[in-house]
Structure 1
């Protein structure tokens, strides 16, 4: 499932390989963008990637997020089991990077 939306003037591109994301995940993405917006007002675009690596008992979920800002973009990725905690961990990593950029 892939979709693109304009959220508060920010182009949001979500890609999930062989996965369907529910409204709850989409809401989490929007609240993540709200949180990131507190640390910089210059976000142009956000790309979010959801995918599963491996198969069977060794499968692991991966969430990555790239935030387009003037200058070098910031990117973070996290691996684990559940989408929402992974997304929150990725946002925390991005917040740390945005604080360094300021």
Structure 2
């Protein structure tokens, strides 16, 4: 799986890049058909004290998968976004296996 991490209008963070890479490696081992993941980190002024945004776009056979979350810190945002991505990957995998069985 190819991985591209971008920090939008903010400084890059080696520790966040390492954290995301580690978390996404687990996903790529579980779902070998994931081709590429684009990760975007953004900061926004948010009155709810959130504003740490993580967006992920995952390329795989068929339509791309997208998830985003807005949390108090980037670690929580990454966890929530990956949780959403994994839910979508499970659904896609179930669709794949159902199609293979009925073929």
TM over 0.5: yes
Within the candidate set 56, 72, 79, 1:88 is matched to 79
Question: May I ask how many residue pairs the two structures share in their alignment?
Answer: 93
Alignment RMSD: 1.9
The answer to whether 1:26 aligns with 2:17 is yes
Task: Report the structure number with the largest CA radius of gyration.
Answer: 2
Matched, 1:35 2:41: no
Give the strand-richer structure, 1 or 2.
1
Q: Distance in 2 between matches of 1:59 and 1:92?
A: 18
Q: Is the 8 A contact 2:50 2:73 kept in 1?
A: no
TM-score normalized with structure 1 length:
0.79
- Indicate the residue corresponding to 1:13 in structure 2: 4
Q: If each structure's helix is expressed as a fraction of its own residues, which one has the higher value? A: 2
Deviating above 4 A after TM superposition, structure 1's stretches of 4 or more consecutive aligned residues are 55-59
Equivalent-residue separation in structure 2 for 1:92 and 1:59 (angstroms): 18
Corresponding residue SS for 1:25: helix
Query: Gaps (5+ residues) in structure 2?
Result: 94-103
Alpha-carbon offset, residue 36 of structure 1: 1.3
1:70 aligns with 2:73: no
Give unmatched runs, 5+ long, in structure 1: 1-9
